């Protein structure tokens, strides 16, 4: 009898952990003003890029926030070393670098936190992000 109670308690603990993890990693927490199917104007994209975000809450997330010029906009929040304080937000088109030009994006390089440091990475950015110097771009 005690053994069955132990199994039930173990099952309930595992179930609680799984439910907690699902609730904690909800992608819709990104920004309640921008639903994932939203059509984003240049102005909305810039407003989002210039807004603040909770580094602790967003650290490690990857989300699609909407569509800009019919192209999905992905946002990721990488961090390394001193997390969540070193978390950054990367707003880019969710396309391959090969397809970037065909969606009128701009391939640019920025430093991204990785491991205990940073590395140079290329992304396909919307033109409005590049033209308004949202990031410190690095020439390769």
Per-residue pLDDT tens digits for 58-68 = 999 999 999 99
Candidates 67, 85, 63; CA nearest to 76 is 63
Summarised one tens digit per residue, pLDDT across range 25-56 is 444 444 444 566 789 999 999 999 999 999 99
Q: What are the helix (H) ranges across 2-72?
A: 2-24, 42-50, 55-58
Q: Which tokens in the block code for residue 124? A: 């396909």
pTM score above 0.75: no
Helical H runs in the chain? 2-24, 42-50, 55-58, 127-131
- What token pair was written down for 40? 């984003």
What distance in Å separates the CA atoms of residue 23 and residue 126, rounded to the nearest whole number?
A: 31
């Amino acid at each position: 009898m005690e053994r069955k109670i132990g199994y039930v308690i173990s099952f309930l603990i595992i179930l609680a952990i799984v439910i907690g993890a699902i609730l904690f990693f909800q992608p819709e927490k990104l920004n309640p003003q921008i639903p994932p199917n939203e059509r984003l104007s240049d102005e909305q994209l810039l407003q989002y890029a210039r807004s603040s975000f909770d580094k602790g809450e967003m650290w490690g997330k990857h989300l699609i926030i909407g569509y800009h010029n019919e192209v999905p906009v992905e946002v990721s929040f990488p961090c390394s070393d001193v997390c969540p304080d070193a978390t950054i937000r990367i707003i880019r088109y969710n396309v391959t670098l090969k397809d970037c030009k065909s969606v009128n994006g701009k391939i640019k390089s920025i430093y991204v936190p990785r491991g205990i440091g940073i590395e140079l990475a290329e992304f396909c950015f919307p033109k409005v992000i590049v033209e308004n110097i949202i990031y410190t771009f690095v020439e390769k």
